[in-house]
Amino acid sequence: MKNKKRFLALALSLALGASMLTACGSSKTTDDNTSAGDSSTNESSTTSKFLPGGGSGIAYIITPATSNAFFATEQKIASEKAKELGYTVKTGSHDDDASKQLELVEAAIADKADFIILDNAGADASISAIQKAADAGIPCFLIDREINQSGLAIAQIVANNAQGAAAIAEKFTEAMNYKGNYAELLGLESDTNCKVRSDAFHSVIDQYKDMKMVSQQSADWDQTKAYEVTEAILEANPDITGIICGNDTMACGATQACADAGRSDMKIIGVDGSDDAAALIKSGKMVGTALQQCALIAQMAVEQADHYVKNNGKTLNNVEEKQLVDCIAITSDNVDKLSAFVYTE
């Protein structure tokens, strides 16, 4: 009787212990400090599936309107690289219209394109078009702009806007001798890059207690609006000695407004690396800009696409999907190396 009881107790306690052990194993612990990203949470199964392309030897390059020099450079460099690698190139502009973008993607599918290089028409609006290409076995390589989904495109190669804005903000603080009042022109406040760049500017400048932002207004990335806003700011705050701008187009407008108001001493920075900004930096009217290396990005995308389709879906040098390319701070020291968004050492 006693033995039986003991045996029962032992068996039960063993069962209890075992149940606790298995339970510990199956409960999820999250002690990995570096897994703060969301990239793992929304990955779809398409990542692992090889998209071989249509085999026609045609490469599609789809960008926003090429009337903008930035996108024209992208298209030109990607086309050149693809031709060099032996592809027949077809280009198209979606003009930031998602339905137009879908038509272009459908044309690529009909043409049995080997791959699509895409500067897309919206982080959410583009997902269905890219999904359609993937369903047809055609891989998309995204440049310049990200989409809000991982695991769908093979690569998303974008400029590191935060790093670029922070780098040129450092040059701005030096030019301002680490003190004084300044104003900020923001881009379209609905755009992700507007906040990314502004936050990065301030992550640097706000560390200097003697620098004070006295006015912050949106000029919608637009040159004419930037001119008008700057005029008004100068009237209300004649004591400012610097203006930080979310892009070069606004910086050009601000520079013109300052020149017309007799304030050519103003320290002005932008972001992008346009030839217009380069000219103003050369003539001393702007302190600097952050070059987004769109030419390099376009070239990388084509090289990665070519490697991917020719190697059963292996990515070049095992690069990850999300890739950042650092900007280069451009000042009077190195502006001579910049032309048409290409920086030549």
Q: Does 48 bind other proteins (CB under 8 A)?
A: no
DSSP three-state, residue 98: helix
For the bound state, the minimum distance from the C-beta of residue 156 to other proteins, rounded and expressed in Å, comes to: 11
For the bound state, the minimum distance from the C-beta of residue 331 to other proteins, rounded and expressed in Å, comes to: 12
Residue 11 CA to residue 14 CA, distance in Å, equals 5
* Segment (H or E) for 289: strand 289-291
Number of residues that bind other proteins (CB under 8 A): 49
CB atoms within 10 A of CB 58: 19
Residue with tokens 């949106």: 218
Supply 70's token pair. 């930035």
Closest CB to other proteins among 91 and 148? Answer: 148
Out of 7, 10, 19, 279, the residue judged to bind other proteins by CB under 8 A: 19
Q: Does 47 bind other proteins (CB under 8 A)?
A: no
Closest CB to other proteins among 20 and 110? Answer: 20
Q: Does 120 bind other proteins (CB under 8 A)?
A: no
User: Which runs of consecutive H residues, i.e. helices, occur in 85-222?
Assistant: 98-110, 127-135, 161-175, 192-205
DSSP three-state, residue 94: coil
Closest CB to other proteins among 137 and 151? Answer: 151
For the bound state, the minimum distance from the C-beta of residue 216 to other proteins, rounded and expressed in Å, comes to: 18
For the bound state, the minimum distance from the C-beta of residue 68 to other proteins, rounded and expressed in Å, comes to: 22
Residue 189 CA to residue 214 CA, distance in Å, equals 19
For the bound state, the minimum distance from the C-beta of residue 108 to other proteins, rounded and expressed in Å, comes to: 28
Residue 267 CA to residue 264 CA, distance in Å, equals 8
Supply 232's token pair. 């008004």
Per-residue x/- track, 173-212, other proteins (CB under 8 A): x---xx----------------xx--xx--x---xxxx--
CB atoms within 10 A of CB 150: 21
- Residues numbered 211 to 230 that lie near other proteins (CB under 8 A) are none
For the bound state, the minimum distance from the C-beta of residue 25 to other proteins, rounded and expressed in Å, comes to: 9
- The CA distances from residue 142 to 137, 234, 291, 332, in Å, are 16, 41, 19, 32
Binding site for other proteins (CB under 8 A): 5, 8-9, 12, 15-16, 19-20, 22-24, 26-31, 33-39, 41, 160-163, 166, 170, 173, 177-178, 195-196, 199-200, 203, 207-210, 320, 322-326
